[in-house]
A and B are shown apart, each in its own frame.
Chain A
């Protein structure tokens, strides 16, 4: 890249390069301004507010680490962390492989590949408010799922019980989100050279062997990337928890971000909510660094 920048026109290199970067920076300014206003300032303010008792009228007062100590002494904080981890884990276990399987299945289809992709993606375009209304009906004791279970002679399933609430949410979330991940995997699959498959077929590999030795290794990086994205997304989950169960029953679906939202918008403790945000931010940054390290390590190996 550097070579291309230094064009053969005879001009003092430093001046030219400075001017080049000046224009580059100029084009970056709108981006910097937008990021500054809508991302960096809120982040910086969030960090600052975590040390304040936020009061719009009388002015903020500095409280040092009080918000942090109150957050850490709240038993719900640990419940929320546990619930979030359980949710993340179950979402990986139940939901993560679905788009991979779906993408492979779709790409193995001889006919109707296009319609299959559309059908898979449809749930992602349903507006949230319709989605939750729909699932409330699906999970209803007299809703379609339980009616079907009763029809085939099984007992009704209580989707709202303390034991099943998280599971119910994961089914809902997987159904809602697997479409977009499937599309990404399908794109990844399309990029795998066909000759690899042809070669493996010549070697006598069946469908399973092709998936095992060609498809999955080729998708490795993509899988890892989507894994990181899913972990980050599920660690910040709160929408379905809030709308379906309000964090209940008895805090069974109280996630970290839901507790943060509750602190901010139910109890109006913005300082405490900011402190929780900062803790989350630090953990996610550490996690990202760790993943980058692991990935780099993997590539070097």
Chain B
């Protein structure tokens, strides 16, 4: 009897699961759209004409804006004021600020649950991934109708222009730099290297300032996670190499070239010179923390980011940190580093109306005085907290434009603004990241780098690179479909 009953219950449960599974699958395809009551998936709305309302009638639209963490009161107040100004101009639009900071490990979950903001901020590295997955929309049409589109800084815009389509609006951009803890150099009586330094000069400087007994490393390359590959790519670029080539609709790995070999040899030299931390397992945050703790003399990061953290979080005096370009391979060579930046993108799962409203909201105050005023207010509030405002090297506007000059005037008004060396910008050259399967490339390169950082004795670096390239070619690059 008991047996029979449990069998009956099991069958009942099985039927329920099967039923759930079947309906789940159906819902699975549509769930992102149906998650919000006002939304149907964009695919549906474009295919059913009656779902698209006439543009003449301003239907009420609700969107979610990208807010800051609760403790960033100044930034949130600025955002709320901006929302209010926009809502006054567009009474049919309701904007709710919501906090979620973009993380590449969380975006998939946010998209699966359709809980990312209608407009959010992301990084240059994400352009291909997000657009490839259609998680962000093509903004080319929106930009065509926006009078200021032509005034956007082309260099900053570049990473989000893919196959002629624009997927993001730049907020700011940077090239990779090396941040130096000047104090550690002074403590050891080591002269600072020249700004137009070379790889050899970096190693020499690292050796001189290195102090393993105290746990101080000369140079902190990131070695854990995809950021390891990202860091190394700077040297690949400085050596004149490329990650991949695209020809006849086919992506081919080229980072195992002679330039790649030189860049990997440089990492091997760093390891052999014993100037990097023994703990190679340093992600982005780990490396910057180590630098902020004064346990490394040099770290590689997006222009002012390491510097900002070192001054405003790490408590290092602003006169004790310096920015250097990525060193050139040989004297007089190019100081090429990877370009990056922050971008505004529009959620691909929102309705067409929401996407339009979100775009209008994002660009509403671009090239206006209100935007500059908000920066002015931010600098003032940072001064009150004894913090330093670290401007980005590249902004969404062109520095030579009138708008750029107005911005410079605001910076000049304050004494808590970090001043970049004018020579730095002249030396720096920034190059966008690889277009296809960049994260997979970074991930595979991380393994190769770890091999170099943890192996003793001689290594066949060319073989390591060739193996990595072959594996990546087969598992990722060969599967890329170029439209």
Q: Which A residues lie at the B interface, using CB under 8 A?
A: 2, 21, 25, 32, 36, 40-41, 44-45, 47-49, 55-60, 74-75, 136, 139-142, 158, 160-162, 244-246, 248-251, 262, 264-268, 270
A201 to chain B, nearest CB (A): 45
Enumerate chain B residues within 8 angstroms of A139, measured Cβ to Cβ: 279
Given contacts A57-B32, A57-B348, contact A36 B16 (CB under 8 A): yes
Given contacts A161-B454, A162-B454, A270-B108, contact A21 B281 (CB under 8 A): no
Query: Would you call the interface of chain B mostly helix, strand, loop, or mixed?
Result: helix
Among candidates A41, A75, A246, A265, residue contacting B283 with C-beta atoms closer than 8 Å = A246
A262 to B42, alpha carbons, bound, how many Å?
Answer: 29
Beta-carbon contacts under 8 Å, B383-407 to A: none
A270 to B448, alpha carbons, bound, how many Å?
Answer: 25
18 contacts between A and B (CB under 8 A): A25-B9, A36-B16, A40-B16, A41-B17, A48-B28, A56-B111, A56-B112, A56-B133, A59-B29, A59-B43, A60-B28, A160-B281, A160-B454, A162-B454, A162-B455, A245-B224, A267-B443, A268-B108
The 8 A CB mask of B221-237 against A (1 = contact, 0 = none) is 00111100000000000
Enumerate chain B residues within 8 angstroms of A36, measured Cβ to Cβ: 16-17, 20
Given contacts A57-B133, A268-B129, contact A142 B215 (CB under 8 A): yes
Enumerate chain B residues within 8 angstroms of A246, measured Cβ to Cβ: 224-225, 281, 283, 446
Q: Which residue from chain B places its CB closest to the CB of A143 in the assembled complex?
A: B215
Enumerate chain A residues within 8 angstroms of B108, measured Cβ to Cβ: 264-265, 268, 270
- Docked-complex contact A48 and B450, CB < 8 angstroms: no
Is B5 an interface residue when CB atoms closer than 8 A count as contact? yes
B270 to chain A, nearest CB (A): 15
- Docked-complex contact B450 and A268, CB < 8 angstroms: no
A45 to B278, alpha carbons, bound, how many Å?
Answer: 43
Given contacts A25-B9, A248-B447, A249-B450, 17 further A-B contacts (CB under 8 A): A36-B20, A40-B13, A44-B17, A48-B24, A56-B133, A57-B349, A136-B279, A136-B286, A141-B278, A142-B215, A162-B454, A248-B223, A248-B280, A249-B280, A249-B453, A264-B108, A266-B439
B214 to chain A, nearest CB (A): 7
Q: Which residue from chain B places its CB closest to the CB of A159 in the assembled complex?
A: B279
Q: Which B residues lie at the A interface, using CB under 8 A?
A: 1-2, 5, 9, 13, 16-18, 20-21, 24-25, 28-29, 32, 41-43, 104-106, 108-109, 111-112, 114, 129, 133-135, 212-215, 223-226, 277-281, 283, 286, 348-349, 439-440, 443, 446-448, 450-451, 453-455, 471, 475
Given contacts A57-B348, A60-B29, A268-B108, contact A250 B454 (CB under 8 A): yes
B80 to chain A, nearest CB (A): 30
Q: Which residue from chain A places its CB closest to the CB of B475 in the assembled complex?
A: A74
B291 to chain A, nearest CB (A): 15
B12 to chain A, nearest CB (A): 9
Q: Which residue from chain A places its CB closest to the CB of B9 in the assembled complex?
A: A25
B170 to chain A, nearest CB (A): 24
- Docked-complex contact A142 and B214, CB < 8 angstroms: yes
B324 to chain A, nearest CB (A): 26
Q: Which residue from chain A places its CB closest to the CB of B137 in the assembled complex?
A: A57
A294 to B210, alpha carbons, bound, how many Å?
Answer: 58
A249 to B455, alpha carbons, bound, how many Å?
Answer: 9
Enumerate chain B residues within 8 angstroms of A161, measured Cβ to Cβ: 454
A300 to B359, alpha carbons, bound, how many Å?
Answer: 71
A160 to B224, alpha carbons, bound, how many Å?
Answer: 12
A2 to B2, alpha carbons, bound, how many Å?
Answer: 9
Among candidates A56, A244, A251, A262, residue contacting B135 with C-beta atoms closer than 8 Å = A56
A267 to B226, alpha carbons, bound, how many Å?
Answer: 11
- Docked-complex contact B446 and A57, CB < 8 angstroms: no
Enumerate chain A residues within 8 angstroms of B9, measured Cβ to Cβ: 25
Given contacts A45-B21, A265-B108, contact A58 B43 (CB under 8 A): yes
- Docked-complex contact A268 and B133, CB < 8 angstroms: yes
Enumerate chain A residues within 8 angstroms of B348, measured Cβ to Cβ: 57
- Docked-complex contact B224 and A248, CB < 8 angstroms: yes
Enumerate chain A residues within 8 angstroms of B215, measured Cβ to Cβ: 140-142
- The 9 nearest A-B residue pairs measured at CB: A142-B215, A249-B450, A246-B224, A44-B21, A57-B134, A249-B454, A248-B450, A141-B278, A250-B451
Enumerate chain A residues within 8 angstroms of B448, measured Cβ to Cβ: 250
- Docked-complex contact A250 and B447, CB < 8 angstroms: yes
A296 to B88, alpha carbons, bound, how many Å?
Answer: 73
Enumerate chain A residues within 8 angstroms of B439, measured Cβ to Cβ: 266-267
- Docked-complex contact B1 and A2, CB < 8 angstroms: yes
A29 to B42, alpha carbons, bound, how many Å?
Answer: 37
A111 to B464, alpha carbons, bound, how many Å?
Answer: 59
- Docked-complex contact A265 and B134, CB < 8 angstroms: no
Given contacts A56-B112, A162-B454, A265-B108, contact A45 B443 (CB under 8 A): no
- Docked-complex contact B41 and A160, CB < 8 angstroms: no
Among candidates B2, B212, B443, B453, residue contacting A141 with C-beta atoms closer than 8 Å = B212
Enumerate chain B residues within 8 angstroms of A158, measured Cβ to Cβ: 278
Enumerate chain B residues within 8 angstroms of A160, measured Cβ to Cβ: 278-281, 454
B477 to chain A, nearest CB (A): 13
B440 to chain A, nearest CB (A): 6
A245 to B43, alpha carbons, bound, how many Å?
Answer: 41
Enumerate chain B residues within 8 angstroms of A140, measured Cβ to Cβ: 215, 278-279
- Docked-complex contact A48 and B21, CB < 8 angstroms: yes
Q: Which residue from chain A places its CB closest to the CB of B112 in the assembled complex?
A: A56
Among candidates A32, A136, A141, A251, residue contacting B447 with C-beta atoms closer than 8 Å = A251
Enumerate chain A residues within 8 angstroms of B25, measured Cβ to Cβ: 45, 48, 60
A164 to B167, alpha carbons, bound, how many Å?
Answer: 45
A264 to B106, alpha carbons, bound, how many Å?
Answer: 10
A1 to B443, alpha carbons, bound, how many Å?
Answer: 59
Enumerate chain B residues within 8 angstroms of A21, measured Cβ to Cβ: 5
Q: Which residue from chain B places its CB closest to the CB of A265 in the assembled complex?
A: B105
- Docked-complex contact B24 and A41, CB < 8 angstroms: yes
A268 to B16, alpha carbons, bound, how many Å?
Answer: 30
Enumerate chain B residues within 8 angstroms of A267, measured Cβ to Cβ: 439-440, 443
B19 to chain A, nearest CB (A): 10
Enumerate chain A residues within 8 angstroms of B281, measured Cβ to Cβ: 160, 244-246, 248-249
Of listed A75, A136, A246, A265, residue having the most chain B CB within 10 A: A246
A40 to B21, alpha carbons, bound, how many Å?
Answer: 9
- Docked-complex contact B133 and A32, CB < 8 angstroms: no
- Docked-complex contact A266 and B443, CB < 8 angstroms: yes
Enumerate chain A residues within 8 angstroms of B2, measured Cβ to Cβ: 2
A276 to chain B, nearest CB (A): 14
- Docked-complex contact A32 and B1, CB < 8 angstroms: no
Q: Which residue from chain A places its CB closest to the CB of B23 in the assembled complex?
A: A41
- Docked-complex contact A55 and B133, CB < 8 angstroms: yes
Enumerate chain B residues within 8 angstroms of A40, measured Cβ to Cβ: 13, 16-17, 20
Enumerate chain B residues within 8 angstroms of A32, measured Cβ to Cβ: 13, 16
Enumerate chain B residues within 8 angstroms of A249, measured Cβ to Cβ: 223, 280-281, 450-451, 453-454
